[in-house]
Amino acid sequence: MRPGDSNPARGQRGKPALHPGVEETAEITLTFEDNRLASILFGHYDQNLAHVERRLGVTANANGNRVVLKGTPDASEQARRVLEGLYERAREGAPITLGDVDGAIQESALQGSLFPASDTPAAGRPAFEQIVTRKRGPVRARNAAQDAYIKALRQHELVFAEGPAGTGKTWLAVGHAVSLLEQGQAERLILSRPAVEAGERLGFLPGDMREKVDPYLRPIYDALYDFMEARHVERGLATGMIEIAPLAFMRGRTLTNAVILLDEAQNTTSMQMKMFLTRLGEGSRMIVTGDPTQIDLPPGQKSGLIEAVRILSRVEGIGRVVFREGDVVRHDLVRRIVAAYDEASRGKAEPGREERPS
């Protein structure tokens, strides 16, 4: 850091060796003003620092409110940006999880590429977009794919989001919808998904319609309660400001001044998807999410999501974001599980390739 900077973490750099053929190393010392916040930043038993070490290939030795970073100049500088960004999060009262550390690492990489010659790359400004709701406050994208997703949600009336579980497709879509509702840019939230593997065979289930479909819509409820107070959710459901319904109940409607989310869209048929997309009315926005690798439709039946993305690829005003296994933010183990399944699928697709016993 430059002398006199107002950043709460004061950094001191060691000079790298400049001999040809010798790997350069750098040492940066960060001192944080608030010991309590530094403890939150470092994590329980310094687990956050250990995560930074593993991901960036540096060493981070903490002592009280001070941490010494050692590694290559680029890695040490990136680690500094990560820790300073996370410290600001802690000052704002936000918790710091390992997922937040991963997000800060990706964000710092983007900052470094955007501002390579700057000592303070973003001048305190986040490189990633964020969603703000009353309950959670600002929720920032954790990777470039989520950043592109939030931008697409703001710019387009219809957005398709595809990718594996755990990438935040549904969660961020609900958060964006809640933020539009709270800002007065939408009058209603309409949240839907195909029920019972897209067949919507609900008659045999006990209870009224809400009781029949609730188990299939539970992930949407969970996201709603993350972004809204429980009493506001219940009031919205009672007044119709929030509507959660199976896809079949969209037929024949024109939805105006609303945010409409279709989740698990890979399990829609072609006719169902066309029916849903043509419900879009004046002043409304539509978000369609799904995982094309998890299709539960009967064999031989086309997925409405895959077909819609292909047919509408050149239509103006439609955004599309594709998440990969590396974009999983739910848990680092989930990322590795998704990657392993994808690798196995690619192996089966290669002709003549045989699985070897481990």
Q: Which tens digits make up the pLDDT trace of 19-40? A: 555 567 889 999 999 889 999 9
Q: Is the pLDDT assigned to residue 68 strictly greater than 80?
A: yes
Render pLDDT for 132-187 as a digit per residue (tens, 0 to 9): 898 888 888 888 889 999 999 999 999 999 998 888 999 999 999 999 999 999 99
Q: Is the pLDDT assigned to residue 204 strictly greater than 90?
A: no
Same domain, yes or no: 136 and 273? yes
Same domain, yes or no: 112 and 234? no
In this predicted structure, what is the pLDDT of residue 198?
A: 38
Same domain, yes or no: 185 and 274? yes
Domain-embedded: residue 357: no
Domain-embedded: residue 32: yes
In this predicted structure, what is the pLDDT of residue 347?
A: 74
Range 311-338 average pLDDT: 83
Report how far Cα 120 is from the mean position of its chain's Cα atoms: 25
* Residues 72-84: b if buried by 16+ CB within 10 A, e if exposed: bbebbbbbbbbbb
Same domain, yes or no: 246 and 321? yes
In this predicted structure, what is the pLDDT of residue 112?
A: 56
Same domain, yes or no: 101 and 137? no
Same domain, yes or no: 50 and 150? no
Q: How many domains does the chain have?
A: 2
CATH of the domain at 45: 3.30.1370.10
CATH of the domain at 244: 3.40.50.300
Q: Which residue has the tokens 């303070």?
A: 120
Residue 334's alpha-carbon distances to 53, 116, 331, in angstroms, are: 20, 32, 5
pLDDT grade, residue 252 (50/70/90)? Answer: confident
pLDDT grade, residue 208 (50/70/90)? Answer: low
DSSP code, position 280: B
Residue 301 lies in domain: 131-347
Same domain, yes or no: 204 and 336? yes
Q: Is the pLDDT assigned to residue 43 strictly greater than 50?
A: yes
